[in-house]
Every structure is written in C-alpha cells, then in structure tokens.
Amino acid sequence: MKFSQKISKLLLLLMSFLILSACSLPGVSSSQEKAIRVAGLATTEGRILNEIVRQMIEHETDLKVDTINNLGTSVVLHQAVMQGDADVTSVRYTGTEMAATLGIEPEKDPDKALELVQEIFAKDFKMKYYDSYGFDNTYAFMVTQETADRLQLKTVADLEKYKDQIDAGFDSQWLIREGDGYPGFVEAYGFELANKHSMQIGLVYDALAAGKMDTVLGYSTDGRIASYNLVTLEDNLKFFPPYDASPAATYEILEEYPELDEVLSRLVGQIDTETMQKLNYTADHQLTEPAIVAKNFLEEHNYFREEE
C-alpha cells in the first residue's frame, strides 16, 4: 500500500472516532433538549418580567431558557412568535393586543377584554393567553404636583382649558396609533393639544420632572411616578381600555413541556400594580439590574410555591 493511501486511511479512521466520541458526550447529542425561547419588550417592565419568567422556569424545571430582549413593540413581539422565533412572551397587555395586534374595537370591561383576547389567541394563533399577573399598566396623563395644584388639574378633561398653552410630550408611536392612540383621544375628548412633542417613551418622565413639558403620557406602573412625585390625571371619559398584563405561550411548546404551563400559571395574580411600580422603581431609580430585581422578588416569595 502506498504511503499516501495509508495516511488517508488513518485520517478516515481518526475522523470516524471523533464523530462517535462527540455523539457520546453529554450536551452534544443531536437529541439534546432545546431551550425555551422567551421574548420580552424593551421597557424596564418588560425586561423585569422577562427575567421573572426565565428565572421561574430555570429554577423550577430542568429546562433551559434563551431570552430575546428589548423588542420595540407588542406587534414585533407577536411577530417573533408567529415567525417561529419565540415560544413564550413574558408580557402582553389586553388593550394593546386589541388595538394593535388584533385591530379590533377595544372592549372597555377588563374581564370581557381578557376573555375576548384569550379566545382569539387560542383560535387564531394557537397560543395560551394566561390570566393577568395582577396589574393593569394603562396609559396615564401625568403632571407634576406643582402643576396640578397651580392649574387645578384632576382629570384629563381639565386639560382642555389649557389646550393652546401647555406643552405635551407623547410617545411617537402613540401619536399615530389607531384605536387607543392620539386620533381616538381627540375624537373621544373633543379637543386637540396645540403643542405636541413626539418623544421616546422613556424620556417623557424626565422631561416632565425637569419642567420641559407641562403634561406627558406615561405608563401607570412606571417607578418614576413615585420617584418624581408625579400626579396621574383621571381618565374620566374611560377612553383607554384595560391593559391587564399576562404572559402567553404557544400550545406547541406547552404540549412538549407540560411543566412549563404549571410554572407560568403560578405567576397569575401574584403581581399587583403597586408591586410592579416598586419593581420598576428599583430598576429605574435605584439602578438595580432587572435580573437582580427579578431574583430578589422571586426569592422573597419562594418562587410562589405552596407552603409545605
């Protein structure tokens, strides 16, 4: 046998040995259990809830989790699931799903809204839309305490008296959003604000506290409401629909890993509005990483296990 043929045989044997060895190593097998892909929003709240879901799953099961963080909108979040890039979404809001994802007239009754969204998600998207975590993160018009006292502002309707004078800061997406966005607001309340400023949602609180804006539209669970001592105005015409927050998961992933359903169900009703606001405050004002905020919260509540 020629020398070159011997070398070729040796190389072939070596490659075969390496392939067989790799197949026998733990964590290399082609049948290795896949990771659960959990997607979340770019907001502080979205990042905290993404971590709560991830840490609950990894602490309570043998499953591994890959997180998809910082998705810009609920529509993008939904598309990630529909395109097969995610299995679980850590937070969905009923009002947003009705207006943006489903494009239907928002139901104003919280229980009916949740039931409606759950039915459509199950039928059209093959997803389980869980009952609420326990909080409603609605849109809210806000002013400083000083402005509220000076202008005697208590409700959103009170802003009409100052519609041509005040500077108002709004999330750029809300200004053009149909349903629960600015066009619908004008129709419901019957007035426009002359000095509108398009802003990133994360900047509106700072702008209001710094006196650069007279009123802004923010989220009712944001921790900066407490840190800046802001006042939320009553939506006296009930324009905004309920925005109860829930996780959601595909039926496919729940059927493959039934233990996942038990873990996600355990989070239902465990986070009220005040608690979520405190968690957001800890991250935004005290500059604690969302992963640490989630870890401390879950450990404090013993991962919501039933008392033994």
**Domain ranges in the chain?**
36-136+244-304, 139-232
Please say whether the structural domain 139-232 has been given the CATH code 3.40.50.720.
Answer: no
* 40-88: pLDDT as tens digits: 999 999 999 999 999 999 999 999 999 999 898 899 999 999 999 999 9
| Amino acid, res. 170 | F
* 244-262: pLDDT as tens digits: 999 999 999 999 999 999 9
36-136+244-304 and 139-232 agree in CATH topology = yes
CATH code: domain 36-136+244-304 is: 3.40.190.10
Contact by Cβ (8 Å): 60, 45? no
Contact by Cβ (8 Å): 80, 68? yes
Count of H-run helices and E-run strands, the chain:
14, 10
Q: Which residues, 6+ apart, have CB-to-CB distance to 94 below 8 Å?
A: 110, 113, 114, 117, 241, 242, 243, 244, 246
CA dihedral 295, 265, 116, 89 (to 10 degrees): 40
Read off the tokens for 99: 């207006």
The whole-number pLDDT of residue 22 equals 41
Q: Which residues, 6+ apart, have CB-to-CB distance to 28 below 8 Å?
A: 22
Alpha-carbon distance of 304 to 293, in angstroms, equals 16
Cβ atoms within 10 Å of 304's Cβ, excluding its own: 15
DSSP assignment of 208-221 equals: HHTTS-SEEEEETT
* 264-279: pLDDT as tens digits: 999 999 999 999 999 9
If pLDDT is split at 50, 70 and 90, which confidence band does 307 have?
Answer: low
If pLDDT is split at 50, 70 and 90, which confidence band does 33 have?
Answer: low
